[in-house]
Structure 1
């Protein structure tokens, strides 16, 4: 299942260093998040509702 994910740079990932970004992969049940520099490293799996809450919170600054 995890190998079937299609990863892409998040539109919310904005940095002056293009190699510093967050990649996401979406499924109907979850948003998967990883560091583009460490693709084999730890990953987060969030519900769509939790992702929406996170993006809302992160964009407040």
Structure 2
């Protein structure tokens, strides 16, 4: 199993909004503790992978309000 192997089901945030709640991303865990992200409207359109360190930095930035909104 490589580090980009998806090891959990994709999940959509309970905070999803827009119409029927279909305008968001889905996230799943990867074998190395990172995350795979895909567009919920186009799940076959490809995945973006983030290693554990990059994902942790992103979450820290969200919690700190780094990205505004």
Is there any run of 5+ residues in structure 1 with no aligned partner, and where? none
SS in 1 for 2:42: coil
TM-score calculated relative to the size of structure 2: 0.64
> By percentage of residues, which structure has more strand?
1
**Aligned-residue CA RMSD (Å):** 2.4
Aligned length: 59
- On the 8 A contact 2:24/2:39 being kept in 1, the answer is yes
Structure 2 gaps of 5+ residues are none
1:12-43: per-residue Cα shift (whole Å, max 9, x none)? xx453111111011034120000100100121
- Residue 51, structure 1, aligned to residue 55, structure 2: yes
1:36: which partner in 2? 40
Runs of 4+ in 1 over 2 A off after TM superposition: 1-5, 55-59
